[in-house]
């Protein structure tokens, strides 16, 4: 891959994505296999005047071995030094850069029960620290190909061709070609306009219908807004949490989902691919996992059992079916890309930043919205060519939002 393009991408991630501030600490999360790119990102961060850069490396095989050989008790422990590290992050608010290159099947075969129990055990402690940091620091997720991921996306290509094709798709969808900074400025403007249009409608509820079986209702809350594109910390630093991004999203009334939604793309959940599934909701909660094969059903049933909020919705996002990412015709098996290809919902944690003027409120005022909380936030795609979405507004009007998969 062209070195200049890679450097431009790393710079884009640091300067527009995380918007690293002078004197700020930076934490990069990356897989050891893709160390070369973490190095480029680290250099870009130092050039942006980061005070220090730390990398948290991961390795699929080491993770698999841990689940195989460590006892449930050991895996579930949060040693004191790890808690101190989290506390240090609460105190110093480093920018976080996640470089994802995950093999969608990385943890296939790992004991599902054990995996879920570990998540349940560690969840409350992690959430305690995360809640203290939410919306106070900048973060970004961006992808680069690994061989395993590229081969999952392009199974008929040689490894090197698959990697090259995935690079091309990533650089294109993240608008790195041409003048990336101008591209993102323009893109953010368009997304903000779309959100403003939605917000001016005053949407009270959304009804989804598609011939694949989706027939679903959800309510939105007064005082919540759709957001998209760049985000802002409470102290006012602008950053770009997802690269790419094509969505207008908000957090719904967690008690209001009713009906059936069918997924329209497979999904990698905790390192295992699930496909042909859906959920039936009653009064906000998943009451039935619909899945054709037993493996997918098992993975999803474990997913929604990790905590109370895991079976409720934290996100409603609108993305036209003809989005640039869907137009690539590529199924990425990576939510960062696939969620930006069509409409989706997410189980789990909601976004407080979708409360209008959230940054001027006390945490008690934000809590009063009773948004969903959970250790998980898992998007699943429900957009299809014939998806229709109709809104009912707070003043009683009916408005077509999506017709045949795209903006009405
Ligand atoms: Zn989303």
- 141 Cα to the center of ligand 1, angstroms: 12
Return all residues near 248 (Cβ < 8 A) that are at least 6 apart: 191, 194, 195, 198, 226, 227, 228, 317, 318, 319
Using an 8 Å Cβ cutoff, are 284 and 257 in contact?
yes
Domain count, the chain: 1
- Is a pLDDT exceeding 90 seen at residue 324? no
Q: Which has the higher per-residue pLDDT, 34 or 109?
A: 34
For the residues 269-278, what does the mean pLDDT come to?
94
* CATH number of the domain where residue 392 is located: 3.40.1830.10
Of 394, 387, 397, 357, which Cα lies nearest the Cα of 135? Answer: 357
| 172 C-alpha to ligand 1 centroid (Å) | 20
| Confidence check: pLDDT of 1 > 90 | no
Q: Is the pLDDT of residue 81 over 90?
A: yes
pLDDT above 80 (res 251)? yes
Q: What was the pLDDT predicted at 321? A: 86
At residue 95, the pLDDT reads 98
Q: What is the pLDDT of residue 322?
A: 84
Mean pLDDT check: name the lowest of 4-13, 255-264, 319-328.
Answer: 319-328
Mean pLDDT of 272-297: 96
Distance 345 CA to ligand 1 centre (A): 7
Residue 363 has pLDDT above 90, yes or no: no
pLDDT in the model for residue 19: 98
Q: Once rounded to an integer, what is the mean pLDDT over residues 324-349?
A: 93
| pLDDT value at 151 more than 90 | yes
Measured in Å, residue 228 CA sits from the centre of ligand 1 at 9
Which parts of 292-397 are beta strand (E)?
A: 313-318, 344-348, 377-381, 388-393
Nearest by Cα to 44 from 20, 61, 79: 20
38-71 pLDDT, tens digit per residue, is 999 999 999 999 999 999 999 999 999 999 999 9
What average pLDDT does the structure give for the chain?
95
Residue among 304, 314, 311, 339 nearest 250 (CA): 314
Distance 247 CA to ligand 1 centre (A): 6
Contact assessment for residue 299 and residue 270, using Cβ atoms and an 8 Å cutoff: yes
Look up the domain containing 302 and give its range: 3-407
Q: How far is the CA of 37 from the centre of ligand 1 (A)?
A: 25
Distance in Å, CA 245 to ligand 1 centroid: 8
Q: Compute the average pLDDT of residues 9-34.
A: 97
Average pLDDT over residues 138-150: 97
Distance 81 CA to ligand 1 centre (A): 33
Question: What is residue 311's DSSP assignment?
Answer: G
Summarize pLDDT for 153-186 with one digit per residue, the tens. Answer: 999 999 999 999 999 999 999 999 999 999 999 9
Give the pLDDT band (50/70/90) at residue 359. Answer: confident
Distance 392 CA to ligand 1 centre (A): 22
Q: Does 117 have pLDDT greater than 80?
A: yes
Distance 315 CA to ligand 1 centre (A): 7
Structure-block tokens of residue 246? 């094509």
Residues 391-402: tens digit of each pLDDT: 999 999 999 999
Residues with CB under 5 A from ligand 1 (ion): 247, 249, 317, 339
Ligand 1 center to 352 CA (angstroms): 14
Answer whether residue 205 shows pLDDT above 80. Answer: yes
């Amino acid at each position: 891959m062209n070195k200049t393009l890679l450097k431009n991408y790393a710079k884009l991630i640091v300067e527009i994505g995380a918007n690293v501030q002078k004197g700020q600490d930076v934490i990069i999360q990356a897989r050891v296999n893709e160390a070369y790119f973490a190095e480029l990102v680290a250099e870009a961060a130092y050039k942006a005047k980061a005070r220090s850069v730390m990398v948290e490396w991961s390795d699929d095989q080491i993770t698999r071995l841990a689940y195989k050989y460590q006892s449930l008790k050991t895996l579930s422990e949060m040693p004191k030094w790890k808690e101190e590290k989290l506390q240090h992050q609460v105190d110093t608010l480093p920018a976080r850069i996640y470089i994802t290159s995950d093999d969608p099947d990385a943890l296939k075969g790992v004991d599902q029960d054990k995996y879920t129990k570990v998540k349940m055990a560690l969840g409350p402690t992690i959430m305690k620290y995360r809640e203290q940091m939410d919306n106070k620091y900048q973060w970004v997720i961006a992808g680069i190909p690994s061989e395993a991921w590229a081969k999952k996306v392009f199974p008929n290509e040689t490894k090197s061709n698959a990697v090259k094709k995935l690079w091309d798709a990533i650089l294109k969808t993240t608008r790195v070609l041409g003048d990336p900074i101008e591209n993102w400025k323009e893109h953010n403007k368009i997304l903000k306009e779309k959100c403003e249009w939605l917000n001016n409608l005053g949407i009270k509820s959304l009804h989804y219908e598609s011939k694949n079986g989706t027939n679903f209702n959800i309510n939105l809350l007064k005082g919540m807004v759709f957001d998209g594109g760049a985000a802002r910390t409470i102290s006012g630093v602008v950053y770009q949490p997802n690269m790419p991004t094509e969505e207008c999203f908000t957090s719904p009334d967690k008690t209001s989902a009713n009906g059936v939604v069918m997924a329209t793309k497979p999904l990698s959940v905790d390192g295992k691919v699930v496909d042909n599934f859906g959920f039936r909701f009653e009064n906000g909660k998943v009451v039935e996992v619909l899945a054709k094969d037993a493996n997918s059903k098992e993975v999803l049933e474990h997913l929604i059992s990790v905590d109370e909020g895991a079976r409720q919705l934290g996100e409603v996002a609108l993305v036209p079916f003809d989005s640039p990412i869907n137009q690539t015709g590529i199924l990425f098996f990576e939510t960062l890309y696939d969620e930006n290809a069509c409409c989706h919902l997410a189980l789990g944690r909601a976004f407080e930043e979708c409360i209008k003027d959230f940054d001027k409120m006390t945490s008690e005022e934000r809590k009063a919205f009773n948004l969903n909380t959970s250790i998980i936030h898992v998007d699943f795609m429900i957009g299809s060519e014939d998806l229709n979405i109709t809104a009912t507004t707070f003043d009683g009007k009916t408005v077509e939002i999506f017709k045949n998969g795209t903006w009405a």
